[in-house]
Structure 1
């Protein structure tokens, strides 16, 4: 199976190619409690998968509502990012989404460029894993398939900027090993942590695809790097949850946002130009919030502090949350988080001393209170 492209996921093939090894037949899901114990005892999160959260009917109603309320905002952020990619790199560019949060965003950027410029850029989704690096086999595959093209890396949002840092390190390592220089610039819709230069907005707002797991990302799991199943020549792995097809909203999501492209105004070009010419630099100011929160709540390991709407949602969906911090007055914008917190019995605390709208705290295992 080494470096073999297998059709994966529920998106149309013209939207994205997943450069991932299909591990669908392997049972590797662990309960949230078992997974949390393993991770905090030193196992790497990429060696196993969480059991997919099955949303309640009321939660899905909130998803549809948030999609309806934010579709224009998401569409504008997609357009602003896509325009920056085109202006900086031109059309000799491979769009490379970081699986899996980046995948629906990459699909949307590809569709926007096709709709606006009539150019169909290649789009792949590949794996990058915190502390483990990027899938170098996937990078080699794209470079071989598209000689002379640049690679533009895409993700959904930033939290602390762990993936931005991982990408920077991975690109340096790749150049040292193979003499090939890539750009480590990461394009995201929302950059509340001030971790990158290419973004749609710095506002910490709800991107509806953060609300769900595989059912909004082409039915593809988180990526897996476990040497029991992944050999040196393989792409990183993932599972394709075909059994969830009836619950899949991946195409509904991207179709809904794409429809909103037609109502975008001329300010998209202006916003893209402004960010390109005078955007605030990436100063990683979100980290100051993280450090303050760590001190106040006595959390030494920053991996247990998950800032921003997207990361807080993930904590509630697949980790063991301890407390949720929210900016005073932001309840209306965070209905899905409040619903999940109530569902799981997690206390919500108003907390103003942070640059994010909200933050999820994971209980350190040694703590009992």
Structure 2
């Protein structure tokens, strides 16, 4: 066990190097003084462990590094503990003896690997064993059921996503609006990479001939570990077929009945499979905009995925530029924490954003406006204006910028990049 602890806690000897800054980190710094359990959630490989290491580096600037313990509970060493959360006490005790220090900060990575972990965490939290407890999980069900009941009011939760455009710009040392405009060719190269391969950190860092293979391994791992294993799915073949079907048909509306027919399963099974994909943050289900929750629930949904790299596992890049851009817009809006819907009542609008004050914003996504599609794209937003006169209206394109009938047409990289 000592070798495992030493390998997990390299900060005992020196800080972690080569870490990209993440926007969520500043939020965590502001919450550091609160005793609440800090939970990081997000799709597998999105960078939760990196954020942990950023926090550990921050703490070691003023705290004894050996008073900080990091455990990756998906390490094969901990398999024997998977049904015995009380064994974590033994690990903590071994760490204390090894370092000769009292552990003040505890980091538990991929905590869902230990059944009943929430009882251990509640016990040490209530008994004030540690100054601060940090947890990551790769499944939204982490905050459901017994955990939510046991720890109500005791935790703060933050999402960690694959890299956003603004984070990629910072990595490329593009930190001002002027730099972004001047280095437009570099910015468009980043956008092209996001459209084709997504923005997982490891994928971003890898050579082009490896990117697709890495995304493929992520996809398989998410399906098997975070969906099949966590939910004890028996009909794995149908589950994989449904996942592939949805990713191949992003932006196209569906009902659970239509999904069931497409892959030959019952409607209820289709509903459950979609729920599992959502809990793993692989798939997102966009609802029809309505002030009536019942109407939202009863209407068809639209599928989007967290990262564009998954889409290109299922179809050719060149022939689907519009759908890829629309999915990327969805992903960036999610990273910004927006509440999203689609509109389809006599005409279509890709995204309706409902703000905290209940004001609305309408977004159309079009890779390239042409004489053939301009009337349709602009017309949809004009019809929205007739029903909701105060709504803001924008068309997001790959790289076109203009104004048409009072509607702003803005390139993706300007809409989501650095603002002037």
Shared fold, TM over 0.5: no
Bigger helix share: 2
TM-score (norm 2): 0.30
| Structure with the larger RCO, 1 or 2 (CA within 8 Å, 6+ apart) | 1
Structure whose alpha-carbon radius of gyration is higher: 2
TM-score (norm 1): 0.33
